[in-house]
Structure 1
Amino acid sequence: MAVLKVIEVLANSEKSWEDATRKAVKHASKSVKNIRSVYVQDQSASVKDGEVADFRVNLKITFEVN
């Protein structure tokens, strides 16, 4: 039987929501092992001078606990 844990992670990117998601998973995987899935809970963007400045994601990362 596997025991899974969920953590919440916030990330941003100047490129896209997808890039922010990839960055979050890559960074989390440095300290969290056995990542199984990621759920994008929320997306937003900041605007500066009438342009999108960066894309933000709020993720839930699920990983297996040994």
Structure 2
Amino acid sequence: MQTPPDDLDARALGEAAPGKGLAREACPYAEGTQARTLWLSGYDAAVAAGAAPVTGGIKREPGR
């Protein structure tokens, strides 16, 4: 997977991730980067606000 460009709002992307079927482990940013910290904090905020967390990377559609 390619790392998204740095000009994207990493926190907003993290907040949207559970709704798009992405697990916390599927963070697209490299370890040790500010973007990863922001993405993970966004993900955690979304889950704390009631979003259902996804486990195992990327949620698959039934039958795939």
Q: Same fold (TM over 0.5)?
A: no
More strand by share: 1
TM-score between both structures, scaled by the size of structure 2: 0.31
Higher relative contact order (CA 8 A, sep 6+): 1
TM-score between both structures, scaled by the size of structure 1: 0.30
More helix by share: 2
Radius of gyration: which is bigger? 1
